[in-house]
Structure 1
Amino acid sequence: MNTINIPLDKLFLDPDNYRLRSKPQYVQMPDLTDDKVIGTALQQRTFNLVAGKNNIEIKDLVDSLRSNGFLKVDNILVRELDNDKGYVVIEGNRRLAALKVLQKSYNEDFDIGLLAPTVFDGVEVVKYSYQNPEEYLILMGLRHVSGNKKWDRYNQAKLIAELYNKGLSVVQIANKLGVSNKSVIQQQLDAFFAIEAFINDDMAYDNDTSFNPFDKFMIFIEVLLKTKVKNWLKWDPLRKEFLDKNNLQRFYSWITPSFSISDDEEDGFNDSDLLDPIIINHKEIRLLNEIIDDEESLIRLEETRSITEAIEQNEGFTKKKFSKEIAQAEKILRNIKFGPSLLLEENDRFSLNNIKKIVNRILADES
């Protein structure tokens, strides 16, 4: 690797940047040649994905560059394109996009603060050469999977899956990325294949174009950690897929928005009819695990669209909760320090008598 200065207009955003993989608008391009990389339309599309609407995704960097100038906090890594076309940024795409925003402002005579305009003539970057795609993946993994600049969990898992698909075992991946806990790599790998099936299911979430399936990654992590739910879906660790397709479609319906059904056929539906998913986040999978074997509770879940109500109606969970609270009450009472100096107030005696009555009633119902 060596440091060089490159004019801003010779630096190109990476259309295959891993940060973009979990955006609904991202489309992976097959046979992405260097000529395609520098195409005007593709560069604009990539900029839109990196910068976000009204540049909201890079506003922090734009403000920082205006306030502080260009500080070399982290290296911008680049790969040289064929035939002297320039360089594609493989690490530092947000900073590149922010610089391009400020260059446009400067060219239109807007204030760019403390940022010296000379940076547009030569941005300091580090030229990086790798022999094969695996080496590039390892570099990205060391920075964004096990490093201190972590991607979101889906993008981490996608990189792990790409290494796995190149023939590396879970142990080898963990060793190359410096991850001591091999089970974490296995969890992310399995969850990636599980969510990919969901993402690629055309019928799973076609009701709502704003729905982002990538946001559900942690739900699939939790599903694979909860034995009852995993078994209900019949997870096959070798094929890395859920085998019970009927239950799987049912589960998909719980984690995606759905339209309410009107009794009047002429009503149709509009945006206001769109209902939130029954299961919103991964923590609710822990509750689902308590009732997944009880069909009556699952029907209740679907009727009320509430995991809380389904749990409250589940006899097994209620008994477990009751036992837990009884044990907690016993622990509290046992830890009270009795002695000659303990003088009970009238309200204390009243509360204790009420506890006694409750206990007697419970025991009487049991006999």
Structure 2
Amino acid sequence: MSEYDWLEKKSLRSVDQLRLWPQNPRLDPEEKHSSLSDYITDLMNDSGEKDDFFKLISSIALNGYIPADPVVVWQDGENDRYYVAEGNRRVLALKLLRNPNKAPKSIRAYIRQKANQIDRDSIEKIRVSVAPSFDDCEWYINQRHFNGSLQRPWSRLQQQRWIAELYDKYEGDVSKVTAITNTNKSSIESTLRILKIRDLALNPAVMNKLTEEEAEKVRSHRVPMTIFERFFFHPLVKEKWGIHKAELLKFDAKPDITFKELSKLNKLALSSFLK
């Protein structure tokens, strides 16, 4: 018997009762997600995510829900509720089509139009694979988002968030993270260095040098990290700033210089993002 036999077993679950995964790497970790509207608004902040999500809704409204890929859930032992580990966008689309009034006002008319094209009772329940625990979901999540599939893949930053979450969960055990993600140690350490750069860029001492509007956009996690990577991994910068690769990312530079330069980098990345 395989440890993943649960993937082959499907159980009917109410769409309305399924809970979305608030730690989903597609979402901005700085935002709260307590309502359906919160999830949708966050998703629509990214134009690519928004376009693909609307296509998904239109497809379900036109063709019905086609369970081609498993929706994977796990049951929280504390509240007995079922949370979606894989298939959050599909479940979110189904929830909206069943309850158009829960959509944000900006898209409510569009959702109502699509909802009128489908028998809402036909999507009241869907078959899901129930994992024994969230830990058992990790392998499948990684297969879907790191090794390619027909669905919209995670962005690089979203993949980095997933690696960081696993790294924290397993208390810095890089071998465990590499086993789950099928990624080599060098790539894991590179991701962690990049995320540490982002933590530095979001330091209050750095953000205080930006206007409130600039700071809000930088916190959105939509700003590309490529500018930061090119700067920090340039040989001259590594030498002048005392950046040590072996210790993931350690700085010997004086904090005031570091914060001033990071503030400039934030502004540069922001201007690039807005073009």
**TM interval, short-chain normalised:** 0.7 to 0.9
Could you say which residue in structure 1 is the equivalent of 2:264? 254
Query: What are the residue-to-residue correspondences of 1:71-86 with 2, within 5 Å?
Result: 71-82=66-77, 86=81
Could you say which residue in structure 2 is the equivalent of 1:363? none
The counterpart of 1:218, out of the listed 207, 226, 237, is 226
Matched, 1:26 2:36: no
Q: Summarize deviations over 1:295-322 as a string: whole Å, max 9, x none.
A: xxxxxxxxxxxxxxxxxxxxxxxxxxxx
Could you say which residue in structure 1 is the equivalent of 2:186? 183
Could you say which residue in structure 1 is the equivalent of 2:177? 173
Cα shift at 1:191? 0.7
Corresponding residue SS for 1:89 = strand
Could you say which residue in structure 1 is the equivalent of 2:13? 6
- Output the CA distance in 2 between the equivalents of 1:71 and 1:47: 22
Residue identity matched to 1:62: I
Matched, 1:156 2:162: no
The counterpart of 2:121, out of the listed 118, 121, 127, is 118
Query: What are the residue-to-residue correspondences of 1:279-318 with 2, within 5 Å?
Result: 280=272
Matched, 1:103 2:98: yes
- Output the CA distance in 1 between the equivalents of 2:93 and 2:269: 36
Matched, 1:46 2:39: yes
Corresponding residue SS for 1:197 = helix
Residue identity matched to 1:212: V
Contact 2:138 2:180 in 1 (8 A): no
Corresponding residue SS for 2:22 = coil
The counterpart of 2:196, out of the listed 177, 186, 193, is 193
- Output the CA distance in 1 between the equivalents of 2:78 and 2:164: 32
Cα shift at 1:20? 0.7
| RMSD of aligned alpha carbons | 3.5
Q: How many residues align?
A: 246
Corresponding residue SS for 2:224 = helix
- Output the CA distance in 2 between the equivalents of 1:83 and 1:167: 23
Q: Relative contact order (alpha carbons < 8 A, sep ≥ 6): 1 or 2 greater? A: 2
Cα shift at 1:193? 1.4
Residue identity matched to 1:243: D
- Output the CA distance in 1 between the equivalents of 2:114 and 2:269: 46
- TM-score relative to the length of structure 2: 0.72
Contact 2:32 2:38 in 1 (8 A): no
Decide whether aligned partners of structure 1 residues 192 and 102 sit closer, same or farther in structure 2, where only a CA change above 3 A counts: same
- Output the CA distance in 2 between the equivalents of 1:279 and 1:83: 45
Cα shift at 1:70? 0.9
Cα shift at 1:217? 2.2
Identity %: 20
Which range moves more in the overlay, 211-220 or 103-112?
103-112
The counterpart of 2:239, out of the listed 215, 227, 231, is 231
Corresponding residue SS for 2:266 = coil
The counterpart of 1:16, out of the listed 23, 43, 58, is 23
Cα shift at 1:27? 4.6
- Output the CA distance in 2 between the equivalents of 1:241 and 1:118: 56
Residue identity matched to 2:38: R
User: Where does structure 2 lack aligned partners over 5 or more consecutive residues?
Assistant: 1-5, 103-110
- TM-score relative to the length of structure 1: 0.56
- Output the CA distance in 2 between the equivalents of 1:101 and 1:162: 29
